[in-house]
Amino acid sequence: MEYIITYHCENSYKNPVSGAHWQFLVIPLEDDTQKIESINFENSLLEKGEYSINGFGFKTLRFKTSKTFSKVTFTVQLKLWKENINPFNFTPETDPTGSFDILDRLDFKTNHQTFLKSSKLTTLVNQEKFSYTFSKDLSIFQNLQNLNNFLFEHLTFETNQTAVNTTLEEVITKQKGVCQDFAHLFCAMGRENGVPTRYVSGYLHQGNGYFRDSQMHAWVESFIPTIGWIGFDPCNGILAATDYIKVAHGRDYNDCPPIKGVLFTSGENVTSYKVQVESAQQ
């Protein structure tokens, strides 16, 4: 499958900015299933961009300027090849108890501590109100699928209820949120049950002709002993398949925001994003 992805972002500032650095984490990860065929990026300040990496090794795109401005736009456009993926194409766990035993092992916990500990945005509180406990009778995969469905059913997708720094306490109280909140809750509950789970940031292809303003998507990946990392999208209640184009993962949103900026200015700013994912063949 071939996709054409456009990431566009526009920032306006109340007071003039006299210099800035930006770092974008919007370039899809390249692995056996995803390959970038071409890429093009530009910005309204005509600064040259450079590739780098973030702290977890994911590819970033950076710009800096010493110009004075009060509005700036960035556009990244790329063509990507993605392998057709059947998310169920793995050898299932033969022995659920054995899998749970592995989760309990010290070396397993140590290897995966990064995605087992709670982070700022994945800290669970008032669990008596909202929790999900795994059943030892089911496979871990089955448990995770159930968790996926549980969140899909119990949380309502609604924009403008939460922001990128909303804590889980608030999300649970409202039982509303956007894809980040679904993902954060999944991470927290997966980890709570001893399954290494990481937050994934990327693009979701929602069918051509979908031109409504869209943002980047967020889902999760959980590590199942003997199988490996499997992607779940609690926001849509499904497994991550061919339509899911991964950019990066981290402990939570804070490890993989699409844009980070360091600006020499004071006062507010308004940011708007537009993300478009089209499949090339149709």
Which residues are at the interface with another protein (CB under 8 A)?
A: 21, 23, 50, 52-57, 60, 62, 64, 106-107, 109-111, 113-114, 116-117, 251, 260, 262
Minimum CB separation of residue 54 from another protein in Å reads 7
Minimum CB separation of residue 151 from another protein in Å reads 25
Q: In the complex with another protein, which residue's Cβ is closer, 72 or 245? A: 72
Q: In the complex with another protein, which residue's Cβ is closer, 116 or 188? A: 116
Q: In the complex with another protein, which residue's Cβ is closer, 62 or 274? A: 62
- Measured at the CA of 26, the angle between CA 90 and CA 245, to 5 degrees, comes to 25
Q: In the complex with another protein, which residue's Cβ is closer, 18 or 135? A: 18
Minimum CB separation of residue 261 from another protein in Å reads 8
Q: In the complex with another protein, which residue's Cβ is closer, 50 or 169? A: 50
Minimum CB separation of residue 183 from another protein in Å reads 18
Minimum CB separation of residue 146 from another protein in Å reads 27
